[in-house]
Structure 1
């Protein structure tokens, strides 16, 4: 299987400018205004007028960039737009209809059909389903219609009002506009202060101050297989005989909580540093500054002469750097996971790492492109089960499972719509999490709520490496057999 090329890594970062909701909004409104006024932009004066008017909407763009409007909070975004219409009564219906048409063309046809057809081989008719997914989607991407529509309709209306008023020789009441922006700022602050209360609570102390410390280690190897985007209840509905067997003969965490925002690069960064976005610095899939700010489990292993590798898509390089073996994500959705697992065998055979993390992407791709409440999504989970069984069987034949602890989990779930994840909607927050191995309790179900930040310190404990410098997670001692530990 091909590694992600330098071009693919750059392209992935560029795509995130359009995929992530926050950078998308200013890019979209700028592009919309340029296209809408393309006929007059041959005039230097018109260009200057348009850019001058743009200055007036910068404060609003900043507010919408700073504040999230997750889940039901996005409904409140319509209030400022309605107030604007009532007070100023100055909207261009043609511009608004043009912007909505352009938005749905981008999300439904360009993204949901052309992009996914070229990247992972979905049908040319995917738009017949994708438009419904965009309308339902609640995640933090540009495909969240209920969040993006009130944002860009208000920004475009104000921009157009200022532009046309200046061109007509009129005067904008700057004070009234500033008061309006102040209202939106206070309104956003109040919403987030009193209604945005479902973020997971962070562990306050570091792992090194919580209890048992890593000793010589009790496992020779740790293998972590992350089925990206596997929604927990859909996992239970899917045909997964091998993973069911691992649950019966291992420990299953019934309330394992992901991170906020529940985006892939954020979750992987937290899992393998043991801490949260405010500390490791990765706050979305759009990584503005490459690299994490803290030690990872891979750094910890190097301190004791051990090696870890992470096999995953190009996005993960942005946080984990050279510890990542990349795979190309430009591949038919039915071929991606089989090729990833073949590459995993090659890495295990040639490099034999003490810690090996594998990201399976087929389930996540299918959820994003075709939705999670369809048979295709369940089929991808079943295929992951078959591939994991094959990989583990191969490891046994190679003699690499004798004293190995195996983790099977998801980095996040997926919500309704386009398999959305980010804001911890239903289906995102709690993920499947199974631990299996010779030192792991058999048939145990842990009901206590835990966090994915516990992955790194637990690996440290199993392999006898120091906790990563800023690890806050708890060692998952519930899963470790006490008789083996003694």
Structure 2
């Protein structure tokens, strides 16, 4: 299987400007307004008007970039639209501009993205738009395809760019029209409105663990076997239950399952992987969406921890993950027919084991997630990709056993996030996103155990540190999942743990 080329890595970053909702909004507003007025590009007065309009819209653009409006909060985005129409009811409305913007948005999301893009990238049907339009209308995630969030945003912004630009460019603004004073009060009002909404209604983010991970004494088995983390990207918990996945379900029954394993907010792939393998949250590791503005995580990862003890970890995944994990990623191209993707990834995983023999191998299976994004998570095709992943993991495990890599090995199977309804929706923790499958299997894992206490994926990195007898990553906050192991390891006494915690806190505050 081919690695992601340099061109694909750059293209993936560029695509995220249009894929992620926050950068999409200003790009779409600017592009739509300019395209609609193409016949005026030769007039200096148009560019003066356009510039003033964008200047007026800048505070709202910043507000929409700072605040998420997830799930039902999207409905509140229409109130500023209505308020603007009432406040400036005498302003002439260019209905053609708003109709053009709406049609361009639907064309981009339903045909260009949902059909043309996915056909070229993963081989979906040229008729995918027949299904995709329904997903756009229901989408609840943080991407540009979230119509219920994007429509009120870009309609208000286009109104401001158009009306403010025209009024201020020719000097006709007055206190009763689109004057600086009335508009300034409007911006202040929308800002206070957004603050109150998020302070009082946005209450479903997972609570962060306030302290750093308490070290756990390694057991006699720690560090003796390899660890394999098999991530079925975007696998919904309930759809996994519905799938015919005999191998993974046997592993789950024979091992330890965490039934309330919670993903991160926002539940985006690069965010979740960054948190899983650093043990901390986006505010600390610095990756807050799939659009990575500054490359590289800000804290230590499990790969850094392994290097300290002379061990090697590799992450086999798509080009997006390079933006956070850099050279620790063995990239795979995401430009292939979706029916071949996971098979090719598995063959590449075999090659990595044969050539590099790492102590830790993390494999990202992508076909389930890509099917959800292109066709929806509630269709049969999505469930079938989970079943295909089950068969491939069974085959991969058999190969590892034959080639001597599975002796004393621990296997962790999970998803990075689930998927909601809509365009493979994930990001805002809608139903189907929040809780993910998570279980462990291996000779040192307790058998037939279900743990129902709520846990977080930030426990992945410290648990890997325990299994591989490596130090904790610098900012690790998740507790080691010690309940999964036999014999039960003991937590260091409070007296023993406190010096380490103090030392860790001092090192972090000193910028280590």
- TM-score grouping bracket, smaller chain normalisation: over 0.9
8 Å Cα contact 2:121/2:337 also seen in 1: yes
Q: Secondary structure at the match of 1:198?
A: coil
Q: Which residue of 2 aligns with 1:435?
A: 440
Among residues 264, 278, 287, which one is paired with 1:282 in the alignment?
287
Q: Secondary structure at the match of 2:338?
A: coil
Q: Which residue of 1 aligns with 2:22?
A: 22
Q: Which residue of 2 aligns with 1:3?
A: 3
8 Å Cα contact 1:219/1:405 also seen in 2: no
Are 2:181 and 1:179 equivalent residues in the alignment? no
What are the superposed Cα offsets for residues 189-233 of structure 1, whole Å, 9 maximum, x if unpaired? Answer: 0011011111111111111xx252446725421000100000000
How much has 1:482 moved relative to structure 2?
A: 2.0
Q: Which residue of 1 aligns with 2:468?
A: 463
Q: Tell me, in whole angstroms, the C-alpha distance in 2 between the residues paired with 1:131 and 1:352.
A: 45
8 Å Cα contact 2:48/2:169 also seen in 1: no
Q: Which residue of 1 aligns with 2:98?
A: 96
8 Å Cα contact 1:214/1:465 also seen in 2: no
Q: Secondary structure at the match of 2:280?
A: coil
Q: Which residue of 1 aligns with 2:508?
A: none
How much has 1:52 moved relative to structure 2?
A: 2.1
Are 2:410 and 1:405 equivalent residues in the alignment? yes
Q: Secondary structure at the match of 2:155?
A: helix
What are the superposed Cα offsets for residues 294-348 of structure 1, whole Å, 9 maximum, x if unpaired? Answer: 0000000010110000000000000000000000001110011000000000000
Q: Tell me, in whole angstroms, the C-alpha distance in 1 between the residues paired with 2:235 and 2:451.
A: 19
Q: Tell me, in whole angstroms, the C-alpha distance in 2 between the residues paired with 1:196 and 1:166.
A: 37
Q: Which residue of 2 aligns with 1:202?
A: 208
How much has 1:169 moved relative to structure 2?
A: 4.6
How much has 1:44 moved relative to structure 2?
A: 2.2
Q: Tell me, in whole angstroms, the C-alpha distance in 1 between the residues paired with 2:48 and 2:445.
A: 68
Q: Tell me, in whole angstroms, the C-alpha distance in 1 between the residues paired with 2:217 and 2:14.
A: 42
Higher alpha-carbon deviation: 82-91 or 400-409: 82-91
Q: Which residue of 2 aligns with 1:70?
A: 70
Q: Tell me, in whole angstroms, the C-alpha distance in 1 between the residues paired with 2:309 and 2:394.
A: 31
Mark the runs of 5 or more structure 1 residues left unpaired by the alignment. Answer: none
Q: Which residue of 2 aligns with 1:130?
A: 132
Q: Which residue of 2 aligns with 1:85?
A: 85
How much has 1:164 moved relative to structure 2?
A: 2.6
8 Å Cα contact 1:71/1:138 also seen in 2: yes
How much has 1:51 moved relative to structure 2?
A: 1.4
Q: Which residue of 2 aligns with 1:160?
A: 162
8 Å Cα contact 2:218/2:469 also seen in 1: yes
Mark the runs of 5 or more structure 2 residues left unpaired by the alignment. Answer: 492-512
8 Å Cα contact 1:337/1:362 also seen in 2: yes
Higher alpha-carbon deviation: 382-391 or 41-50: 41-50
8 Å Cα contact 2:219/2:489 also seen in 1: no
What are the superposed Cα offsets for residues 149-171 of structure 1, whole Å, 9 maximum, x if unpaired? Answer: 00000000111112232455511
8 Å Cα contact 1:214/1:467 also seen in 2: no
Q: Tell me, in whole angstroms, the C-alpha distance in 2 between the residues paired with 1:258 and 1:213.
A: 26
Among residues 190, 194, 211, which one is paired with 2:196 in the alignment?
190
What are the superposed Cα offsets for residues 405-453 of structure 1, whole Å, 9 maximum, x if unpaired? Answer: 0001000000000111000000000000010000001111110000000
Q: Tell me, in whole angstroms, the C-alpha distance in 1 between the residues paired with 2:341 and 2:217.
A: 39
Are 2:238 and 1:233 equivalent residues in the alignment? yes
8 Å Cα contact 1:405/1:438 also seen in 2: yes
CA RMSD between the two structures = 1.3
Question: Given the two structures, how large is their TM-score scaled by the length of structure 2?
Answer: 0.93
Q: Tell me, in whole angstroms, the C-alpha distance in 2 between the residues paired with 1:483 and 1:116.
A: 48
How much has 1:280 moved relative to structure 2?
A: 0.5
Q: Secondary structure at the match of 2:339?
A: coil
Q: Secondary structure at the match of 1:407?
A: strand
Are 2:452 and 1:447 equivalent residues in the alignment? yes
Q: Tell me, in whole angstroms, the C-alpha distance in 1 between the residues paired with 2:265 and 2:149.
A: 18
Q: Which residue of 1 aligns with 2:37?
A: 37
Q: In the TM superposition, what are the counterparts of 1:138-149 in structure 2 within 5 Å?
A: 138-149=140-151
- The alignment covers a number of residue pairs equal to 484
Among residues 377, 385, 390, which one is paired with 1:385 in the alignment?
390
Q: Tell me, in whole angstroms, the C-alpha distance in 2 between the residues paired with 1:334 and 1:294.
A: 36
8 Å Cα contact 1:242/1:385 also seen in 2: yes
Are 2:368 and 1:363 equivalent residues in the alignment? yes
Q: Secondary structure at the match of 1:470?
A: coil
- CA spacing shift, 1:483–1:107, aligned 2, 3 Å: closer
